[in-house]
Amino acid sequence: MLDINLLRNDPEKVKENIRKKFQDQKLPMVDEVIAFDREYREAIQQADGLRNKRKTLSKQIGGLLGKGLKEEAEKVKAEVAAMADELEALEKKEEELKGEIRKRMLVIPNIIDDSVPIGKDDSENVEIQRFGEPVVPEWEIPYHVDIMERLNGIDLDAARETSGNGFYYLMGDIARLHSAILSYARDFMIDRGFTYVVPPFMIHGNVVTGVMSFAEMENMMYKIEGEDLYLIGTSEHSMIGKFIDTIIDEDKLPKTLTSYSPCFRKEVGAHGIEERGVYRIHQFEKQEMIVVCKPEDSPMWFDRLWQNTVDFFRTLDIPVRTLECCSGDLADLKVKSLDVEAWSPRQKKYFEVGSCSNLGDAQARRLQIRVRAEDGSKYFAHTLNNTCVAPPRMLIAFLENNLRADGTVAIPEVLRMYMGGKDHIG
């Protein structure tokens, strides 16, 4: 959510940002907010004037009664009572106008960083750098589900019976590999100085609207019927929510946290869940990174976060590349975002396995996450998040890049301690 002062002082900057994101339908909202804000401030001014006048008149009542002027005192009382009705109407108007302003401010997108490439959708994202040499082996790489089934590691048919499409049973060594990757990711991030956290997997509605846009919420979140609780789509939601309505002393920053959680997503707009794949699914697990920091430090942390993901995948000898997300591919709260994509030797192309985002002070404004400076002044923190690893999608990249000609799957040395010392499965 933007600072209202930006709309008051530089509405054209806000409109130009909307155009860069190809959301012209939101342009009228800027003028609407400005008009509502003007009316809101006028109502506050009128209400304050009434309160001051009522205070003055109330003092007069005591003086008049003290002089025995009861009739005059009653007239002033009546005038004060009438003011109370007018004041109540103004306060109601203030709340209504405040609601109209907030409703629009939650939809107007955050100001993107100047470095963000301009483009309509993800087809115009820009490749930045490649890490590792993408290899296509001489032998055929089967579809990832076929690899798992040959290793007795997945049962999609049973999951379809119990839960529907987009769910799965992982079994045996594949299930163990899934857990091993998450355990390794946990320790990898702890070794990089992050504090390990297991957060709540359900959050209240006010936290949901604090961490994401309405469009994302509608397309992603599962709501618990009859309760003010939502299943998280990523641990970022509850991790950022952890700091709601807090004031953090500047010398306690940055907060660098790595969190494990299951994630639940509707995947609305995914054009159907692929029945035999585990690329787009309703349930998965993830190791996430969260940073809460001073505004001037967020660009540095952005680069550190995505580099962590690249380094993690390279320790498993999986080639990756980074893509700068263009303006039209950025969610409304994001200032800047970069995707990490892993190499698929079967498809002979890269596919997304993680996303790093700098949200500026957007989430902090919504959730009132503030920092207390040394001089006692307060300002909004910046928040960032990034995926370290999210199996089972990561399993696709792992299995394809570690599959041998004989159908066995090599286990890199860094994972063997989590796999009981095994150097391969098959």
Residue 397, pLDDT > 60, answer yes
Q: What's the pLDDT at 245?
A: 97
φ and ψ at residue 275, rounded to 5 degrees: -65, -35
How is residue 12 written in tokens? 């054209």
Q: What is the mean pLDDT of residues 252-261?
A: 98
In the predicted structure, residue 69 carries a pLDDT above the cut 90? no
pTM of the model: 0.89
Domain spanning 4-105 has what CATH number? 1.10.287.40
Judge: domain 122-425, CATH 3.30.70.20.
no
Tell me what the mean pLDDT of segment 114-134 comes to: 96
**Positive or negative, the Cα torsion across 92, 212, 335, 188?**
positive
- Given this model, what pLDDT does residue 332 score? 94
Tokens of 276: 């035999």
Domain boundaries, the chain: 4-105, 122-425
How do residues 156-173 score in pLDDT, each as one tens digit? 999 999 999 889 999 999
pLDDT band at 71; cut points 50, 70, 90:
confident
Taking the CA atoms of residue 333, residue 380, residue 309 and residue 128 in that order, the dihedral angle to the nearest 10 degrees is: 60
Identify any residues that bridge with 259 across adjacent strands, giving them in sequence order: 197, 288
Instruction: Quote the pLDDT of residue 277.
Output: 84
> Does residue 270 have a pLDDT over 60?
no
What beta strand segments (E) does 51-131 contain?
Answer: 126-131
Q: Give the mean pLDDT of 249-260.
A: 98
pLDDT exceeds cutoff 80 at 70: no
Longest dimension (CA), the chain: 107
First CA to last CA across the chain, in angstroms?
51
Q: What is the pLDDT of residue 276?
A: 67
Instruction: Respond yes or no on whether the N-terminal peptide bond of residue 109 is cis (omega within 30° of 0).
Output: no
Position 268 confidence tier, pLDDT thresholds 50, 70, 90: low
Identify the CA nearest to 27 among candidates 12, 8, 37, 40: 12
The mean of the pLDDT values for the chain is: 93
Q: Is the pLDDT of residue 218 over 90?
A: no
Contacts of 388 (CB under 8 A, 6+ apart): 185, 188, 189, 258, 286, 287, 288, 289, 308, 309, 312, 354
Please state, in angstroms and rounded to a whole number, the distance separating the CA atoms of residues 161 and 156.
9
Instruction: Classify the C-alpha dihedral 355-361-365-367 as positive or negative.
Output: positive
Phi, psi of 365 (to 5 degrees): -65, -45
Residue 272's pLDDT band, with cuts at 50, 70 and 90, is very low
Tokens of 352: 């997304």
Residue 102 has pLDDT above 90, yes or no: yes
What element of type H or E holds 340? Answer: strand 336-344
What Cα–Cα distance (Å) separates residue 65 from each residue in 52, 57, 70, 74, 221? 21, 12, 6, 9, 63
Alpha helices by DSSP H, 221-327? 235-241, 298-315
Q: Residue 292: what pLDDT?
A: 98
Supply the DSSP symbol for 392.
Answer: T
Three-state SS for 16?
Answer: helix
Binning pLDDT at 50, 70 and 90, where does residue 78 land? Answer: confident
Residues 6+ apart with CB under 8 A from 154: 145, 148, 168, 169, 170, 171, 174, 278
407-410: long-range contacts, CB 8 A cutoff, minimum separation 24: 407/150, 409/147, 409/151, 409/177
Residue 275, pLDDT > 70, answer no
Query: What DSSP element (H or E) covers 74?
Result: helix 70-105
Average pLDDT, stretch 74-93? Answer: 80
